[in-house]
Amino acid sequence: MRIAVVGAGAVGLSVAARLSTVADVYAVARKRHADAIRAHGFAMTGIWGDATYRFPCGEELPAGERFDYVIITSKSRDTEAICEQFADAVAGAETVSLQNGIGNEEVIAGYAKGVIGGMIITGFEWRGDGAVHVSVEAGPIRLGRFPAGTDEAVNALAACFRKAGMNVETSPDIRADLWGKTLYNAALNPLGAIMDVAYGELCHPAAWHVIGNIVAEAFAVCTAEGITLAWATPAGYLAYLRDVQLPATALHHSSMLQDIKAGRRTEIDFINGAVVEKGRAHGIPTPVNATLVDLIRFREHLALGRDE
């Protein structure tokens, strides 16, 4: 099996590393990471094991090469540009979104032979160029044909992930799974970034009150969108978040916080921003999510420079 991982940051390089033990993998990453991997290998620590992996990595895919799967792991704001940059490879392959947020699969569908949705709730943190620490995992990776169903291509990729030692399941309704992950991200990611705390701190009653409102608004949007979530009510999801997801990721620091500290734009428009946008389309008020979008945009402005 030939797999390209493009837009590979901490998530993509970690996935590429594990897949490289069972498949022919090529990763596309930023120059400093590609250079480090070519020189010293990719160093992984944490709950996925401590090891150094060697696999081909560059800033571009080799010209003319074809792949069975192209896995996109970029930030959501870069999905369109990634599809344009690697249009030839994407057009000839099953293309997988292993990204945060809502809307990536719809963008990819305009370019790809076929679209597979992917959901991963695992914490990846940089430890230097070409080095990542895998900190927490709140559940299995899920893969499914977008918007729903499974097939031979999905099952073959899941089997490859499994053989590489990753915890993976196939999903008959990946669109609902992606919204389920968006609930988690919308609830914790911006608050963790605004308050500069690990997720475990967000169980404080004041923060939990805000989280309850975030989730209630997102649930209303999902209902209007015809999404059947795994939880029947907002209270049901909040119990799962409190009892299962939050303890599993208590030490993790928000990816939005990591972006802000690195002077990068966040994915807020594709997480809480997606709740606001779709709420507006259905006439559903989403004031708490909208406020978080504004606060994160202000933090971006401060981090990027006051002329931004």
Nearest by Cα to 5 from 84, 77, 68: 68
Instruction: State how far the Cα of 131 lies from the Cα of 35, in Å rounded to an integer.
Output: 12
For β-strands 51-53 and 57-58, DSSP reports them as: unpaired
Shared-domain flag, residues 206 and 149: no
- Which domain-ending residue is among 120, 149, 172? 172
Host domain of residue 271: 175-304
Shared-domain flag, residues 60 and 189: no
Number of separate domains in the chain = 2
Which spans in the chain are helix H? 10-19, 31-40, 79-85, 87-91, 104-108, 152-163, 174-195, 205-225, 234-240, 246-248, 255-261, 272-282, 287-304
Cβ-proximal residues to 180 (8 Å cutoff; 6+ apart), any chain? 119, 229, 230
Shared-domain flag, residues 273 and 128: no
Question: Residue 250: phi, psi to the nearest 5?
Answer: -60, -30
Instruction: State how far the Cα of 166 lies from the Cα of 27, in Å rounded to an integer.
Output: 18
pLDDT in 10s for each residue of the chain, 308 residues: 999 999 999 999 999 999 999 999 999 999 999 999 999 999 999 999 999 999 999 999 999 999 999 999 999 999 999 999 999 999 999 999 999 999 999 999 999 989 999 999 998 999 999 999 999 898 899 999 999 999 999 999 999 999 999 999 999 999 999 999 999 999 999 999 999 999 999 999 999 999 999 999 999 999 999 999 999 999 999 999 999 999 989 988 999 998 999 899 999 999 999 999 999 999 999 999 999 999 999 999 999 875 54
> pTM for this one?
0.93
CB count within 10 Å of CB 174 equals: 26
- Which domain-ending residue is among 172, 206, 225? 172
Shared-domain flag, residues 185 and 297: yes
Domain of 189: which CATH number? 1.10.1040.10
